[in-house]
């Protein structure tokens, strides 16, 4: 481990010098690339320096203990030695975490797809609740959100809604949300006051860059049609909605939120690229299926991951057995406590595999 850490420190020093090089600072493109690499190695290098300094401090204290015979001073030094030893153990654990392989998608923007599952209209209404939750979470984190496409119901729910969340590290936080979300509550449409159980599926896809997914234009069938839903006379007059079918895979993406056909096509292509990238990622992960089962779920859309129980004010994440009695706060976007616990559990599982 120490050899790996030394490599990171050397790289950190090399990049620090580059950031002062005029040939780098005068080229925005090169500077951005170097700064991105610098930020990725900086936490490891600085943690390693802190570790080395703490080791040096402990050795200095041991030296003083060998030389000093004063009882009061000895007691103070032994206490300091104990604290430094504990700190070194903590730093070693933190360095192991920092050396874990990083998900290459962690810094990306995400495309989130929410679909009503079992439960009909009630599922569609809860899909709207989850969309609101993620939108409010984005605001709390300083991210931007933008609806790409939506299919609304008469009561204000969503059969399906697809939206993008833009911000540094968005995927690293939201990737754990993929799966089946279950809600238990008395539906607004229920007159008998009975508790119903409904489900909503959430898929979180890292935004794909153009260069990563090679799409042959001849593999696409692009259809235009008139938008449906609320929107006034414009909807009846203009065929601005876009439907793109990727013929080799059968994937279909629709977008009708914008008045401009060009903007709808651009949004639809973003979704298509991300879906194709995700499909390729899933194919690759089939080779390490057991490894994924041993870790916290971050992608299986059929996996029931969480239950929102309104009568009890309870939210339970089934992957890690976490239960919080603060459903109102969570549905208002305060989901960091759950996400932090999932990240910790995932890292612990990965560390166990490394040992």
d(CA 314, CA 305): 14
SS3 274: helix
Residue 152 is encoded by which pair of tokens? 């609304």
Q: What is the pLDDT of residue 75?
A: 87
Q: What is the pLDDT of residue 28?
A: 87
Q: What is the pLDDT of residue 217?
A: 81
Q: Dihedral through CA 267, CA 273, CA 276, CA 277, nearest 10?
A: -130
d(CA 56, CA 54): 5
The radius of gyration of the chain's CA atoms, rounded to the nearest angstrom, is 26
Q: In the chain, where are the structural domains located? A: 2-98, 110-210+295-354, 217-284
* Topology, domain 110-210+295-354: Alpha-Beta Plaits (3.30.70)
Q: What is the pLDDT of residue 288?
A: 43
Q: What is the 3-state secondary structure (H, E, C) of 129-142?
A: HHHHHHHHHHHHHC
SS3 156: coil
Class of the 217-284 domain? Answer: alpha beta
> pLDDT tens digits, the chain, 355 residues: what are they?
788 888 888 998 999 999 988 888 888 888 888 888 888 889 889 999 999 999 999 999 998 888 877 788 888 889 999 999 999 999 988 888 888 777 778 888 898 999 998 888 889 999 999 999 999 999 999 999 988 888 888 888 999 898 989 998 899 999 999 999 999 998 766 667 788 899 999 989 888 765 566 778 888 888 877 666 544 434 444 567 888 888 888 888 888 766 677 778 878 888 888 888 777 766 655 544 444 444 445 444 567 899 999 999 999 999 999 999 999 999 999 999 999 999 888 888 887 776 6
Q: What is the pLDDT of residue 227?
A: 62
DSSP per-residue letters across 2-28:
HHHHHHHHHHHHHHHHHTT-HHHHT-H
d(CA 175, CA 347): 14
- The answer, as to whether pTM is greater than 0.75, is no
Cα-based angle 211, 212, 214 (whole degrees, multiple of 5): 80
Q: What is the pLDDT of residue 85?
A: 93
The one-character DSSP state at 217 is: G
d(CA 75, CA 79): 6
């Amino acid at each position: 481990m120490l050899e790996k850490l030394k490599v990171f420190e050397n790289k950190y020093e090399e990049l620090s010098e580059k950031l002062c090089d005029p040939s780098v600072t005068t080229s925005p493109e090169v500077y951005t690339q170097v700064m991105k690499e610098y930020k990725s190695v900086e936490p490891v290098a600085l943690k390693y320096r802190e570790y080395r300094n703490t080791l040096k401090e402990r050795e200095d204290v041991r030296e003083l203990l060998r030389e000093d015979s004063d009882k009061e001073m000895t007691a103070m030094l032994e206490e300091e030695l104990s604290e430094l030893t504990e700190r070194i153990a903590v730093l070693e654990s933190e360095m192991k975490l920092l050396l874990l392989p990083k998900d290459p998608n962690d810094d990306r923007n995400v495309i989130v797809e929410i679909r009503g599952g079992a439960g009909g209209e009630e599922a569609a209404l809860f899909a709207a609740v989850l969309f609101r939750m993620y939108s409010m979470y984005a605001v709390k984190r300083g991210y931007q959100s933008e609806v790409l496409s939506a299919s609304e119901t008469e009561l204000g729910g969503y059969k399906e809604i697809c939206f993008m969340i833009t911000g540094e590290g968005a995927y690293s936080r939201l990737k754990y949300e993929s799966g089946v979300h279950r809600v238990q509550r008395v539906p607004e449409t229920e007159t008998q006051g009975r508790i119903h159980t409904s489900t909503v599926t959430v898929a979180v896809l890292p935004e794909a860059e153009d260069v990563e997914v090679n799409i042959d234009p001849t593999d696409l069938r692009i259809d235009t049609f008139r938008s449906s839903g609320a929107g006034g006379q414009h909807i009846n007059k203009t065929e601005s909605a876009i439907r793109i079918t990727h013929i080799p895979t059968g994937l279909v993406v629709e977008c009708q939120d914008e008045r401009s056909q060009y903007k709808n096509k651009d949004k639809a292509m973003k979704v298509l690229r991300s879906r194709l990238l995700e499909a390729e990622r899933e194919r690759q992960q089939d080779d390490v299926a057991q490894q994924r089962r041993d870790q916290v779920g971050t992608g299986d859309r059929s996996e029931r991951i969480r239950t929102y129980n309104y009568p009890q004010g309870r939210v339970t994440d089934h992957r890690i057995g976490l239960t919080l009695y603060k459903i109102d706060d969570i549905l208002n976007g305060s989901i960091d406590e759950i996400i932090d616990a999932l990240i910790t559990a995932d890292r612990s599982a990965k560390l166990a595999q490394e040992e």
